[in-house]
């Protein structure tokens, strides 16, 4: 048996050919990165999980529309990003209509998502580090969406500029400029931590 892990593209091809365990592997690989991406855009754990499920359902039902010319990661992030942004627009309209105030702040989100256990449950994680984490999370959440998504995809998910350009459907130059401007804003806001 081949010990080399299959590429995402191999997995989706196998899945298209009927191997549903390949789908399980795709879920295993993308569950956490996609969840972090969606959650950071929405700032709502419950909706983020719903949209994560919807993303995988769309992968399942639309598996035959994936073409090997595209990188699988760009396809799945595009689906997740579109869902998250639609939800964000829907929430904005809803908020505007209901004129509610003071809701939706990521940092104050009551339904905070679960953090990866080894970090959250670690009693040795000192107060200062927890504080830094909260600050960094909060400042990322406060970025305008265009910078936030660029920073998340580039500096947290570590996708290439080309991939981000495809996912966000913006020119390469715009991606670079958004990443740089997003970084500059974050650097400015996190000055005291440096």
Partner 1 sequence: MLSCEHFEQNWTTWKAAKLAPVIADEMLAHSLECAHCRHYTAETDELRTLLEHSSLYQPSAEFAANLEQAILDIRRRDVARSMRAPGLFPRWAVLSAGLATGLAIGLMLLLPGEIDEQPNSNLAAVTPPPTAFVPDERLAEQTASSQRADEPVKDTLRARQDTAVSPPFEVNQRSRMVSSGGR
Site for partner 1, rule CB under 8 A? 17-21, 23-24, 27-28, 31-32, 35-36, 39, 45, 48-49, 52-53, 56-62, 64-65, 75, 78-79, 82, 113-117, 119, 129, 132-133, 136-137, 140, 151, 154-156, 158, 160-161, 176, 180, 183, 186-187, 190, 193-194
- From the CB of 174, what's the least distance to partner 1, in Å? 13
Contacts 24+ apart (CB under 8 A), 100-107: 104/43, 104/44, 105/43, 105/141, 106/40, 106/43, 106/137, 106/138, 106/141, 106/142, 107/134, 107/137, 107/138, 107/141
State how far the Cα of 108 lies from the Cα of 25, in Å rounded to an integer.
34
The least CB distance from residue 84 to partner 1, in Å, is: 14
Least distance from partner 1 to the Cβ atom of residue 151, Å: 8
Q: How far is the CB of 91 from partner 1 (least distance, A)?
A: 19
């Amino acid at each position: 048996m081949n010990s080399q892990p299959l590429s995402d593209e191999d997995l989706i091809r196998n899945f298209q050919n009927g191997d549903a365990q390949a789908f399980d592997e795709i879920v295993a690989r993308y569950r956490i990165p996609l969840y972090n991406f969606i959650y950071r855009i929405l700032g709502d754990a419950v909706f983020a999980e719903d949209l994560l499920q919807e993303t995988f359902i769309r992968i399942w039902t639309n598996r035959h529309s994936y073409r090997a010319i595209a990188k699988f990661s760009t396809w799945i992030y595009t689906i997740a990003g579109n869902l998250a942004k639609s939800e964000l627009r829907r929430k904005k309209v809803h908020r505007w209509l209901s004129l509610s105030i003071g809701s939706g702040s990521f940092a104050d989100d009551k339904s905070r998502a679960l953090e990866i256990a080894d970090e959250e449950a670690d009693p040795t994680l000192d107060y200062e580090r927890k504080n830094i984490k909260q600050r960094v999370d909060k400042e990322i959440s406060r970025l305008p969406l265009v910078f936030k998504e660029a920073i998340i995809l580039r500096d947290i998910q570590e996708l290439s500029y080309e991939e981000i350009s495809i996912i966000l459907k913006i020119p390469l130059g715009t991606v670079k400029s958004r990443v740089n401007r997003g970084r500059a804003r974050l650097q400015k806001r996190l000055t005291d931590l440096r």
